[in-house]
Amino acid sequence: MPVNSFDNYPLSWKPDRKNLKAPYYRSLAMDLEEKIRSGRLREGTKLPPQREIADYLDLNYTTITRVYDLCRRKGLIYGVVGSGTFVAPHSAEDITIVSQEGQDGVIEMAAVNGFEEYSGPVEQATRSVISRGYLRNLYEYSYPAGQPHQKAAGVRWMEQLGVHASAENTAIFSGAQNALAVAMISLFSPGNKIAADEYTYSNFIELARLLHLELIPVRQDQYGMIPGELAKQCTIHKISGIYLIPTQGNPTTITIPLSRRRELAGVIAENHLTLVEDDIASWLSAAGGSVIPSMYDLLNGHSVYICGMTKSLCTGLRVAYMTFGPEFRDALLHGLLNVNIKTSALDAEIITELILSGAAYSIAARKRAWAERNCRIYAEYFPVSRIEPLYYEWLPIRTDKPPLEIENGLLSRGVRIYHSRRFTAGRGGRQAWLRVSLCSAESTQKLRKGLAILKEYLAENHLLTESEDSHEKE
């Protein structure tokens, strides 16, 4: 009998052999998942080598390989070449970000709502659409990808963002999150590997897990994803696609400069990766017509670009534009039809009216000014490297306390803020951060109060970084 067949042999994951039932790989996968979901196997725990656990259970090595492959596809574990297999981040928790309700007195600085109080021009556009007498046409279930004139308006809006699209290869979705879901469902299969920034949109991390897509985190610097690191990961893994937020990345606020975008486009093209570009904030930088070309344009349209309208115009009108290369057209329209999340034609018509009348641009300008004002207010409490229109800031902190303890500690004082753990696609680094929303506190008075509470909490708990300590002393 091998030495590690003895019951007292130390293993981080030690299934009870008496509870195993055929087929063994499925029974073992259920056992491993249950121990991870319950927290008995914590994030970062190194699992036994496959041969070692197979030897302990007196099972075939390929059985354990199937167990690990199944759990890897579910996002429960991940492998590092030369180091082993580990329990994945977020495998025992839900990190979905959503606006919270029912907690009176809490200052919202976690969700990004986008100045919901500014709705006058939207109400006027709604009245204008209603007055034209063709509402009945908007009630019909037709043009599931959007009516031609509505798509044309979307193409016009995207032009100012450095995206040159055609109406033929554009579709309208009921919000950017739904557009993203259809893109991932239509273009990828369970088990596919998707490259993403090491800190990325938390709802995308959850979506990938739901679809059993394996995220491959790629290291970032102050200019965004590092092209050499992406190329390196492509040699290690068989990567199918890549998810990027090139402008004011969520949560890092990084805007990838043109030279870096060109380098990334080269790596993407060379490795035949399908890019899904999530553009949540180019409009914040579009003043004066100076925008960095989109990745979509740099790849000559051979990618997928998503532009949501909720943050720029109105959160209650669930409209997003997706433009795509012709090679993706059939798959994406098939996904749109079968997932059946066609946006409301009335919503799309109101957005169209706002764009064609020019009101959309004035709304965006007003919100851009408010975002810059709030960034200046933030700078009164914490050091910043630049003042520009931002919907959130990325605040470095010390790592003395567990993430949930920090979030709950702030919530107990009446402020909701999210820790960087929610945005970690991989194992995460030694540095911790807070994403501080600047657009959802309802008023500048509440924003100032929330920032004051945040600063006081961080100081009391010795979580301020050195730069913030010096800012405090000034």
Domain end among 335, 357, 379: 357
Per-residue pLDDT at 380 exceeds 80: yes
Asked if residue 253 and residue 159 are part of one domain, the reply reads yes
Q: What is the mean pLDDT of the chain?
A: 88
User: Is the pTM above the cut of 0.85?
Assistant: no
| Residue 100 domain flag | no
**Judging by DSSP bridges, how do beta strands 432-437 and 415-416 pair with one another?**
unpaired
Q: Summarize the confidence of residues 435-441 as an average pLDDT.
A: 93
| Residue 43 domain flag | yes
- Residue 137 neighbours by CB under 8 Å, 6+ apart: 345
Asked if residue 143 and residue 246 are part of one domain, the reply reads yes
Asked if residue 8 and residue 66 are part of one domain, the reply reads yes
pLDDT at residue 474 in the model = 42
| Residue 149 domain flag | yes
Per-residue pLDDT at 463 exceeds 70: yes
Asked if residue 175 and residue 156 are part of one domain, the reply reads yes
Q: What is the pLDDT of residues 133-185, one digit of tens each?
A: 777 777 777 788 999 999 999 999 999 898 999 999 999 999 999 999 999 99
Asked if residue 295 and residue 167 are part of one domain, the reply reads yes
Per-residue pLDDT at 378 exceeds 90: yes
Q: How confident is the model at residue 117 (pLDDT cuts 50, 70, 90)?
A: low
pLDDT at residue 44 in the model = 79
Q: Summarize the confidence of residues 119-139 as an average pLDDT.
A: 81
Q: What is the pLDDT of residues 407-423, one digit of tens each?
A: 999 999 999 999 999 99
- Between CA 91 and CA 80 the distance in angstroms is 17
- Between CA 95 and CA 23 the distance in angstroms is 33
Highest mean pLDDT among 119-128, 268-277, 392-401: 268-277
Q: Summarize the confidence of residues 355-378 as an average pLDDT.
A: 92
| Residue 92 domain flag | no
Q: How confident is the model at residue 246 (pLDDT cuts 50, 70, 90)?
A: very high
Per-residue pLDDT at 242 exceeds 60: yes
> Between residues 449 and 399, which one has the greater pLDDT?
449
Domain end among 333, 357, 381: 357
Q: Summarize the confidence of residues 81-92 as an average pLDDT.
A: 78
- Token code pair at residue 170: 């554009």
Peptide bond into 251 cis (omega under 30): yes
Asked if residue 374 and residue 352 are part of one domain, the reply reads no
Q: Summarize the confidence of residues 289-308 as an average pLDDT.
A: 93
pLDDT at residue 34 in the model = 87
Per-residue pLDDT at 245 exceeds 50: yes
Which DSSP string do the residues of 216-285 spell out, in sequence order? EEE-EETTEE-HHHHHHHHHHS-EEEEEE--SS-TTT-----HHHHHHHHHHHHHTT-EEEEEESSGGGG
Asked if residue 148 and residue 70 are part of one domain, the reply reads no
Q: Summarize the confidence of residues 80-99 as an average pLDDT.
A: 71
Asked if residue 157 and residue 35 are part of one domain, the reply reads no
Asked if residue 332 and residue 412 are part of one domain, the reply reads no
Asked if residue 286 and residue 352 are part of one domain, the reply reads yes
> Between residues 455 and 11, which one has the greater pLDDT?
455
| Residue 96 domain flag | no
Per-residue pLDDT at 470 exceeds 50: no
> Between residues 460 and 130, which one has the greater pLDDT?
460
Rg value, the chain, Cα: 24
pLDDT at residue 70 in the model = 86
Per-residue pLDDT at 83 exceeds 50: yes
pLDDT at residue 84 in the model = 87
Percentage helix, strand, coil for the chain under 3-state DSSP, each rounded to 5: 45, 15, 40
Asked if residue 57 and residue 80 are part of one domain, the reply reads yes
pLDDT at residue 473 in the model = 43
| Residue 95 domain flag | no
pLDDT at residue 396 in the model = 95
Q: What is the pLDDT of residues 37-49, one digit of tens each?
A: 878 888 778 999 9
- Residue 160 neighbours by CB under 8 Å, 6+ apart: 283, 286, 289, 291, 361
- Between CA 454 and CA 357 the distance in angstroms is 41
User: For the domain that residue 135 is a member of, what is the CATH number?
Assistant: 3.40.640.10
Q: Summarize the confidence of residues 244-273 as an average pLDDT.
A: 97
| The total number of structural domains that make up the chain | 3
pLDDT at residue 101 in the model = 52
User: For the domain that residue 51 is a member of, what is the CATH number?
Assistant: 1.10.10.10
Q: Are 143 and 276 in contact (CB under 8 A)?
A: no
- Between CA 257 and CA 135 the distance in angstroms is 44
Asked if residue 150 and residue 252 are part of one domain, the reply reads yes
User: For the domain that residue 409 is a member of, what is the CATH number?
Assistant: 3.90.1150.10
Q: Give the domain range for residue 404.
A: 107-114+368-473
| Residue 214 domain flag | yes
Supply the angle between the helices 359-379 and 345-357 in degrees, to the nearest 10. Answer: 90
> Between residues 228 and 7, which one has the greater pLDDT?
228
Instruction: Say how far residue 240 (Cα) sits from the centre of its chain.
Output: 18
Per-residue pLDDT at 102 exceeds 60: no
Q: How confident is the model at residue 116 (pLDDT cuts 50, 70, 90)?
A: low
| Residue 196 domain flag | yes
